[in-house]
Structure 1
Amino acid sequence: MLRQIIVTLCWLPLSLLALTGQANSVEPAAVQAGAVPERQGGALFKIQRAGQSAYVFGTIHVGRADFYPFDDKVLQALQHSSSVALEIDPGNTQGLSALMTKYGIYADGKSLAKELPQPLQKQLNPLLEKYDLTPAALANMKPWLLATVLGISEYTYQGYLPQYGVDSTLAAFAKSHDKPLVELETAEQQLSLLGKLTSTEQIQFLQDSIDEIQDPEKARRSMQLITLWRNGDVEGLTTMLAEMTSDDTFTGKFVQRALLVERNPGLAGGIEKLAGTTPHAFVGIGMLHLVGKDSVLAILQQRGYTVTRIY
C-alpha cells in the first residue's frame, strides 16, 4: 500500500501533514533551469491525434530537494505549455481538510480507541512514537485515514517530504507563471473511494498498512519505487505494478482496483478533453497510472492517440 499511495492520491501528503500538525515551512521546490543529471526523474510522454497534442509526465507525491531542477525536456515542455493539469490541486488544503473531516473523522461518538482491536492498538503505539504522532491528534480519525497518515509518515521518516512532491512543485509553477491549473478529478471523488469502506474493511486496511511498515522486505520494496521513479525506469515500474497485482491482501486488491485501474478511464478522458480544447497542455499524474496494460496511456492509444516517450 505504501508504494501505491505516493503515486495515486496527490491530495494526501500535504493535507495529512496539516491535519496532524506536522506541516512545516518547507515550500514546494522551485522550477528552474540548471545542471541536472540525465533522467532526473519520472518519464515524459507526448500524445498526439489529429493535430491535438499534450505532454504527460509521471509524478510522485513525495520528494527531496535533490529531485530538482527538472530535466531540461520537462522544463521546456512546462515553459511552453498553455496550462498545467493535475489529478487535483494539492495546494487547496482548506478544501481538502473539510473533505477529510467529512469522510475520515468520526462524528457520531465513535473513536479509534473504541473501534480498534486491542492487539492492533498495541502494534500501533510504537509507530506513533516513531513518527512523533500524538494520540490526541489521531483520536477521532477513522482507520483508513490513520493508515494513510502512517504511510506518509514512513516516507517522511525516510527523508521524503510531501512539500517536495512533484505535484506540489508543478502546481506552484503554474501559479507563479499565471498558467491555468486544471484538475482532472475532484478531491471528493478520491476521498469517497476510501470513505465508503466498511468499518471492518477500514480496520483491515490499517492492519495491512502496519504489517507492511513493519515487514523489512515490504518496506524496502516501498522505497524501491522512488528509485525506479528517479531513474525513469518504466520497465521496472511495470514489473512492480505486476507484482502489486498479485498482492492478495484486502488493501492490495482495493488499492490496485479502486485507486488505480478504475480511475484510469476517467483520467484518460480528462486528458483527451484537455488535448482537444487546450493546445500545448502539460499533464502530471501519478507514475503508476502510466504503466501497464490498463494504464492511462494504453487507453489513450486505444482511442487513436500516438504515444511517444520524450525521455
Structure 2
Amino acid sequence: MMRHWFSTLLMLPLTLGLAACQPESLQSAGSAAPKATEIVTIPDDPDPAIWVIKDEDTTIYLFGTVHILKPGLSWFDEAVKEAFDASDELVIEMIRPDPAAMVKIVNDLAIDTTGVSLRDKLDPEDRTKYEAVMASLTLPVNAFDPLEPWFASVSMSLIPLKQSGFETDSGVEDILTSHATARGMTITGLETAEQQLGFFDNLPEDVQIRFLNFNVDSIGEMADGMENMVAHWANANISALAELMNAGLEEKILYETLLSNRNANWAQWVDERMKQPGTVFVAVGAGHLAGKDSLQEQLKKRALVAKRIKY
C-alpha cells in the first residue's frame, strides 16, 4: 500500500493530462463513450524541448517532463544533458516525502471522513459503470470506498498505465533526481506534497465526481493517450502537446487550480531566483511549458524571455 501511495502521488501532475488525451472534455464527462485514440510514433532518438533564461550571472533552464515513462527511452542526452551538467541546482515540482510523512498526508487529505462511501456518492448509472471498470481492473468494487473521489480517480488512472509497461520509477524526475543526488547537487521543490494533494482535495466534490466519472469512461484510452503524450513530448511538438494536455481543463476551476495559478507562482519563483547568481535546471510537467498560460508566457509578464534551445 505504501508503494501505491507514492505511485499515486507521482500521478497528480499527470492525471489531468491523461484526461485531456481523450476526445471528450471533463465538462461533458459521461455524455458519450470515448473514441479510439490515434497513436503518434515515439522517435528512436527523443529530443524533448528545453528553454533557457539568462542574464549576466544567472542561467535558468526550463525543461518539460513526463512523470511516468516506459524504461529505455533515451532522452537524457545532447542539449538536455549538457544543460543539466552545467547546472548547480535541480528544481522539480515536488520532493517526495519519506514514507511515514506520506502516510500522514494521505490519511489527512485523501481519506473521506463524512461516513459516506465513494460508491454511494455516485448516481446509479455512474455507479454501475464504475463497478464494471473496477472489476475489469481486477479490483474489489469497494477498494476505493473510503477515499475522496479525486484520489480514487488518480489511483484508478495509474493501473492501465502500469499494465501497459509504464513504470513510476522511470519518469524524468526520477532520472534527474538520481543524477543530481550522485553529483551532490542542491535539489529544490517548488511545491510540497501537501500542496499537490491539496489542489485536488480542495476541489468541490461535484467536480471531483465528474473527474472520476470521466476517467471511468476513458479508462480504456488511458494507455494510448499516454503514448501520445510521450510521443509529442519526445518530438518536441509543443503546439500539439499544449492542445493535448490542456484541453481537458475546460472547467475554469480546474484550469486555474492545476495550471495557470501554479504557472504564475512558479514564474514568481523564477523571477526571484534570477536575482541570485548560478545555473539552475528547472524540470516541471511538460504541460506547464505549453499553451497560452504557460510558464514562459507568465515569465513574459515579468520581462523574462525564455529562449528555445535548438538541437
Which bin holds the TM-score, normalised by the shorter protein? 0.7 to 0.9
SS of structure 2 residue aligned to 1:45: strand
Picking from 149, 160, 164, the partner of 1:154 is 160
Partners in 1 of 2:71 and 2:51 — Cα distance?
Answer: 24
- Corresponding residue of 1:3: none
What per-residue deviation string (whole Å, max 9, x for no partner) do you get for residues 277-310 of structure 1? 3511111001111112211111223322232212
Specify which of 76, 85, 93 is matched with residue 82 of structure 2. Answer: 76
The aligned runs of 1:113-262 (5 Å cut-off) are 113-135=119-141, 137-214=143-220, 220-240=224-244, 243-244=247-248, 247=250, 250=251, 253-262=252-261
Cα distance change of structure 1 residues 13 and 68 upon mapping to structure 2, 3 Å threshold: farther
Provide runs of 4+ in structure 1 moved above 6 Å. Answer: none
Note closer, same or farther for the CA distance 1:303–1:13 as it changes in structure 2 (3 Å cut): farther
Aligned-pair CA distance for 1:51: 3.4
Percent of counterpart pairs with the same letter? 25
Cα distance in 1 for partners of 2:189, 2:10 equals: 21
Asked if 2 retains the 8 angstrom alpha-carbon contact of 1:15 and 1:96, the reply is: no
**Residues 161-198 of structure 1, C-alpha deviation per residue, up to 9 Å, x if partnerless?**
21111112222222222111101122222222211223
DSSP 3-state at the match of 1:276: coil
Correspondence 1:110 to 2:109: no
Name the SS of the counterpart of 1:289 in structure 2: helix
Summarize deviations over 1:100-125 as a string: whole Å, max 9, x none: 22111123433224333332222122
SS of corresponding position for 2:90: strand
Contact 1:84 1:282 in 2 (8 A): yes
CA deviation string 1:234-274 (max 9, x = no partner): 132234356446x4xx5xx4432310112111111222233
| TM superposition score normalised by structure 1 | 0.78
SS at match of 2:52: strand
Instruction: Give distance in 2, aligned partners of 1:256 and 1:226.
Output: 21
TM normalised by structure 2 equals 0.78
CA contact (8 A) 1:13 1:62 kept: no
Instruction: Note the C-alpha offset of 1:39.
Output: 5.3
Match of 1:33 in 2: none
In the alignment, structure 1 segments of 5+ residues that lack a partner are: 1-11, 20-36
User: Aligned partners of 2:195 and 2:10: how far apart in 1?
Assistant: 20
The DSSP-based 3-state class of the residue aligned with 1:183 is strand
RMSD (Å), alpha carbons: 2.8
* Shift in alpha-carbon separation, 1:244–1:142, aligned structure 2, 3 A: closer
Q: Aligned in 2, Cα 1:116/1:187: closer, same or farther, shift over 3 Å?
A: same
What amino acid does structure 2 have at the position aligned with 1:97?
V
Task: Deviation per CA, 1:87-111: give whole Å up to 9, x if none.
Answer: 1113645433322221111234332
Asked if the contact 2:112/2:147 (under 8 Å) is kept, the reply is: yes
Structure 2 portions without partners, runs of 5+? 12-42
Higher helix share: 1
Counterpart code for 1:290: L
1:268 aligned partner: 267
1:46 aligns to what SS in structure 2?
strand
Number of residue pairs aligned between Structure 1 and Structure 2: 276
Deviation string, structure 1 residues 69-102 (Cα, Å, up to 9, x no partner): 5122211222221110001113645433322221
